[in-house]
Amino acid sequence: MSAAKAKAKARKKPEAPMTQLAYTVPEFCRAFRISERHYFNLRDEGKGPKEMRVGRRVLVSVESAQAWVRARELEGT
């Protein structure tokens, strides 16, 4: 790498870390410490989080995950 390119790279502002806006199903399961099988059982019972499809991927938004947690908390009381 040339000295000019190295200086330009050094002056570049560091990017802010991205905030996660959605989970894949495996990420959701890891985050909430449930198995994927349990996730799909909950979904089949109508007790899973709302999902969105982006192309072929299934994602759970952070808002949907939070709503799911609140619903599970209310269900337990």
pLDDT digits (tens, 9 = 90+) for 26-72: 999 999 999 999 999 999 999 999 999 999 999 999 999 999 999 99
4 by DSSP, 3-state: which? helix
Task: Check whether 7 has a pLDDT greater than 80.
Answer: no
> Could you give the dihedral angle defined by the CA atoms of residues 63, 65, 67 and 73, in that order, rounded to the nearest 10 degrees?
-150
Return the pLDDT at 57: 95
Residue 8 or residue 56, greater confidence: 56
Here the tokens at position 52 are 């969105």
Residue 76 or residue 68, greater confidence: 68
CA 24 vs CA 6, 15, 28, 29, 67: distances in Å? 37, 23, 6, 9, 16
What's the distance, Cα to Cα, between the start and end of the chain in Å? 62
